[in-house]
Every structure is written in structure tokens, then in C-alpha cells.
């Protein structure tokens, strides 16, 4: 019987979750990657997740459709709202790209799958520095979900294990994340960050996510493999 511990990894196809997957794998977990098709504006991110899952040799990759657009309220899921460009202070306030309760929903699904798999480790690539405006990227949120997970599940009653929610990059700068991923051999050209790519999948270069990515590569002193439409 294979006794390698299993972990569920939330994999969006972006830089942060790709690095998180590389870290989970480096820690010796058998990785079960979970990607959501959630009314995103594009499929490009999902294709990046598929490439990453294959390259990083996950044990299984599930892509689950969930309808977050049905509630509206975010520029990432609502086509009537525009993705902000060239924001002056991207860490200020809660941006319109915030998707209500998104990470709570994502972690809930990860918990369901973990419970069926007999896994007790869940990895999520949230970052509290870059996304300080997102309430569900903070350490206190992750701790609260971990507590919830250990009350919500059969294992809480059967006492056969304790869930751990791993957020290994939560306190890293973007540059540190890129350095860690590079050290682990991750090829960042496979990742996609832009909130608003063109139809060929090229990154806009102006949204919050592009700005953070560009800055990260600059500060890490690594060449950015991304092709941007605008180099402003």
C-alpha cells in the first residue's frame, strides 16, 4: 500500500498557486490538484493549470465548474464590470476584482475532496502582502478555515486525523515567491496571471495582477517570461 501522504492543492494556473504546488510536491506529498471553472473571463488560466498539473506530475487533476458569476458583484466574473487598469495604489481598499467568498468556497470544495481521498493537507496559494485588500487572503482567515475544517468533517468525530490548511507563500513578497519557485525548478512561462488577456492569451500588462507580476520579476532579478500587450 502506498503510504505517501496525499494533499489537495488549489491550482488556478497563476504564479502563486503554481509555486504552491511546487512547494507541496517538494514536501513529498502526492498532489491532487483542484481547478475551478468559475465564470472567469477566459479559459487561458485553466489551460495554464492543465499544463502545470501535467508538468508537475500531479496524481490527479480535477477541473470543476462552479457558478460564481450567478451572484455577480465582481469584475472577474461579471462581464458588465471593467477590470481596473493602472491603479495607483493596488493594495488600497478592496478592489472590484474581489470575488465574494471565493476562497471560502474554494477551500470548502477542497475539504470535500480531501475527506473523500483520506487527505488531511490542503494547500492554497493566497498571499497577504500583494492582496492585502482581499479579506480571504489573510492568515486569520486561513486559521479560521482550518478550525472549521476540523469541526465540519467526519474526521472531527472519528478522530482519525487533523486537517492542516497550508498557505506556504502567504507572507512572501512576489519576488520571494518567484525565487522559491525557480529554486524548485518551476518554469513560470507556463503560468498565467493577467485578469484581462486578449483573445490570444497575451497579458494586458496594466491590471493589478500584471503589475504585481512584473514588479515581482524585476525585484527577484529574473527575466519575466510573459508577453505583455502594453509595456507601460
**Which residues would be at the binding site for a second copy (CB under 8 A)?**
62, 64-68, 70-73, 94, 98-105, 108-109, 111-113, 115-116, 133, 135-136, 138, 140-141, 144-145, 147-149, 151-154, 156-158
What are the C-alpha distances in Å from 31 to residues 8, 86, 180? Answer: 6, 36, 18
Question: What is the nearest approach in angstroms of a second copy to the Cβ of residue 125?
Answer: 17
Q: Are 1 and 30 in contact (CB under 8 A)?
A: no
Pairing of strands 6-10, 164-166: unpaired
143 and 166 Cβ atoms separated by less than 8 Å: no
In sequence order, which ranges of the chain are alpha helices (DSSP H)? 15-26, 44-55, 102-117, 139-152, 154-158, 174-183, 208-220
Q: Which is nearer to a second copy, 115 or 180 (CB)?
A: 115
Closer CB to a second copy, 146 or 218, in the complex: 146
- The minimum distance between CB 149 and a second copy, in angstroms, equals 8
Residue 1 or 116: the one with the smaller Cβ distance to a second copy is: 116
Specify whether the CB–CB gap between 149 and 115 falls below 8 A.
Answer: no
Residue 30 — φ and ψ, nearest 5°? -80, 115
**Beta carbon nearer to a second copy, 161 or 201:** 161
Closest-CA residue to 216 (of 164, 184, 181, 185): 181
From the CB of residue 44, how many other CB atoms can be counted at a distance below 10 Å?
19
Which lies closer to a second copy via its Cβ, residue 18 or residue 114?
114
How many whole angstroms separate alpha carbon 77 and alpha carbon 84? 14
Query: Measured from the CB atom, is 138 or 202 closer to a second copy?
Result: 138
Amino acid at each position: 500500500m502506498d503510504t505517501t501522504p496525499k494533499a489537495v492543492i488549489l491550482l488556478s494556473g497563476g504564479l502563486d498557486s503554481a509555486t504552491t504546488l511546487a512547494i507541496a510536491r517538494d514536501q513529498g506529498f502526492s498532489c491532487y490538484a483542484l481547478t475551478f471553472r468559475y465564470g472567469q473571463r477566459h479559459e487561458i488560466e485553466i489551460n495554464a493549470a492543465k499544463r502545470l498539473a501535467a508538468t508537475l506530475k500531479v496524481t490527479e487533476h480535477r477541473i470543476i465548474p462552479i457558478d460564481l458569476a450567478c451572484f455577480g458583484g465582481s469584475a472577474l466574473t461579471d462581464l458588465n464590470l471593467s477590470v481596473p487598469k493602472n491603479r495607483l495604489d493596488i493594495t488600497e481598499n478592496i478592489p472590484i476584482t474581489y470575488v465574494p467568498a471565493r476562497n471560502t468556497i474554494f477551500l470548502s470544495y477542497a475539504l470535500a475532496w480531501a475527506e473523500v481521498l483520506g487527505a488531511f493537507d490542503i494547500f492554497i496559494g493566497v498571499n497577504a502582502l500583494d492582496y492585502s485588500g482581499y479579506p480571504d487572503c489573510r492568515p486569520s482567515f486561513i486559521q479560521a478555515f482550518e478550525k472549521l475544517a476540523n469541526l465540519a468533517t467526519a474526521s472531527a468525530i472519528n478522530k482519525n486525523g487533523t486537517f492542516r490548511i497550508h498557505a506556504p507563500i502567504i507572507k512572501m513578497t512576489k519576488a520571494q515567491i518567484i525565487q522559491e519557485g525557480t529554486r524548485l525548478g518551476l518554469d513560470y512561462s507556463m503560468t498565467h496571471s493577467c485578469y484581462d488577456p486578449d483573445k490570444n492569451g497575451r497579458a494586458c500588462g496594466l491590471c493589478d495582477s500584471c503589475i504585481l507580476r512584473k514588479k515581482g520579476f524585476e525585484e527577484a532579478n529574473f527575466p519575466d517570461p510573459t508577453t505583455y500587450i502594453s509595456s507601460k
